[in-house]
């Protein structure tokens, strides 16, 4: 019978540790206040729930959490201007562009994500951060929060992935691909499986650690799990269930009851990986704030080659630096007042 890795409890420890760290820093630097802004276009109900959870976590930890909500008719250039304004705001240390965007104007999500300054991209989704992760430059990048949370949970299970056979099921840009990279640079021998992989069960049976992020209910069968393996289930598959107070039951990507009988350690759904995502987002925001305040222990981060100077951004639009900053701020105020 597997040990259940309780992500809720681990996330609580991470969040409490961050709160304590902020309070300790503020004893010497009273003006230290990490800031996180979540930019949303439109009004998707699921996005509202996710953002609410992030802002609540900010309040509990001592981070200034701001929800910037723009209307569905926001244009791509207006969104770019909003993000560039946050890039130069010294009180903002982390920026998230909540996707999918709920807009009527055909905004390019990838393009706008890459407008984020990599040094404030606490979700680790810009091409710069993804590229640094792929190259193993972990000290100079932010890594996506869900796979980073998975690494913390694997460590919580007492497993060192060095030299272990690891199987990642899924190759999304948000979870699967960066999960592969993190495990590789932790010296695991990593196999990535996906929708085109034949005989998925064969690969999983070889693995000492299995991380599943496929988005398909109970895709991974209990009989495929190697005895004693660590199983991390990132799946969240909702189905209507009248017996639940919420009216919804969440299923993972792993056949949990059967896998639990074989694995050495396993995460449940819910209460496993999910809480870690928000906790690691908070950690990245605090790390960014420490770096910007020059606090010892913050990671080095050079973005000179990638983030356009403010003067350059203004010149590209035929504006002086001061005029560009003023126009960006005015546009933001006009949009938020509507």
The pLDDT tens digits of the residues spanning 97-106 come to: 999 999 999 9
pLDDT of residue 231: 98
Place of tokens 């356009």: 308
β partners of residue 41? 70
pLDDT of residue 307: 40
pLDDT of residue 245: 87
pLDDT of residue 309: 44
Average pLDDT of the segment spanning 33-62: 96
Considering 33, 54, 139, 226, which one is annotated as catalytic?
A: 54
Instruction: Identify the H or E element spanning 119.
Output: none
Average pLDDT of the segment spanning 220-237: 97
Extract the tokens encoding 124: 């680790």
Place of tokens 């409490």: 16
Extract the tokens encoding 167: 């199987």
Residue 108 CA to residue 120 CA, distance in Å, equals: 20
CB 36 within 8 A of CB 63: yes
Each residue's pLDDT tens digit, 179-225: 999 999 999 999 999 999 999 999 999 999 999 999 999 999 999 99
- DSSP 3-state of 169: strand
CB atoms within 10 A of CB 18: 22
Residue 311 CA to residue 319 CA, distance in Å, equals: 9
Angle at 102 between CA 100 and CA 107, to 5 degrees: 80
Higher model confidence: residue 137 or residue 306? 137
Mention every residue, 6+ apart, whose C-beta is less than 8 A from residue 52.
Answer: none
Average pLDDT of the segment spanning 312-333: 53
**Does the annotation count 54 as an active-site position?**
yes
pLDDT grade, residue 308 (50/70/90)?
very low
CB atoms within 10 A of CB 169: 29
pLDDT at 313 over 90: no
pLDDT grade, residue 296 (50/70/90)?
confident
The pTM of this model reads 0.86
Extract the tokens encoding 148: 């980073």
First to last CA, the chain: 56
pLDDT of residue 192: 98
- Residues of the chain with pLDDT > 90, as a percent, come to 86
pLDDT of residue 326: 57
């Amino acid at each position: 019978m597997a040990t259940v890795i309780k992500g809720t409890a681990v996330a609580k420890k991470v969040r409490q540790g961050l709160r304590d760290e902020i309070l300790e820093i503020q004893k010497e630097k009273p003006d230290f206040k990490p800031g996180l802004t979540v930019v949303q276009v439109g009004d998707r109900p699921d996005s509202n729930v996710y953002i609410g959870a992030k802002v609540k976590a900010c309040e509990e930890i001592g981070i200034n959490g701001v929800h910037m909500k723009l209307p569905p008719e926001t244009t791509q250039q207006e969104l770019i201007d909003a993000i560039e304004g946050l890039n130069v705001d010294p009180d903002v240390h982390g920026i998230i562009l909540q996707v999918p965007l709920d807009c009527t104007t055909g905004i390019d999500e990838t393009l706008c994500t890459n407008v984020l300054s990599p040094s404030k991209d606490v979700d680790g989704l810009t091409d710069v951060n993804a590229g640094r992760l792929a190259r193993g430059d972990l000290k100079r990048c932010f890594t996506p929060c869900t796979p980073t949370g998975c690494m913390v949970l694997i460590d919580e299970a007492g497993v060192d992935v060095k030299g272990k056979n690891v199987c990642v099921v899924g190759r999304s840009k948000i979870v699967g691909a960066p999960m592969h990279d993190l495990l590789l640079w932790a010296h695991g021998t990593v196999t990535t499986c996906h929708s085109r992989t034949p005989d998925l069960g064969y690969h999983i049976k070889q693995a000492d650690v299995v991380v599943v992020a496929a988005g398909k209910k109970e895709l991974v069968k209990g009989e495929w799990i190697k005895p004693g393996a660590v199983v991390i289930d990132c799946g969240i598959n909702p189905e209507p269930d009248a017996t639940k107070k919420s009216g919804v039951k969440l299923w993972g990507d792993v056949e949990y009851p059967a896998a639990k009988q074989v694995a050495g350690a396993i995460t449940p759904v819910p209460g496993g990986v999910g809480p870690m995502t928000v906790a690691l987002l908070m950690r990245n925001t605090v790390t960014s704030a420490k770096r910007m305040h020059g606090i010892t222990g913050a990671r080095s981060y050079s973005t000179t080659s990638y983030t356009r100077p403010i003067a350059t951004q203004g010149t590209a639009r035929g504006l002086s630096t001061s005029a560009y900053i003023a126009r960006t701020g005015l546009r933001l105020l006009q949009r938020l007042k509507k």
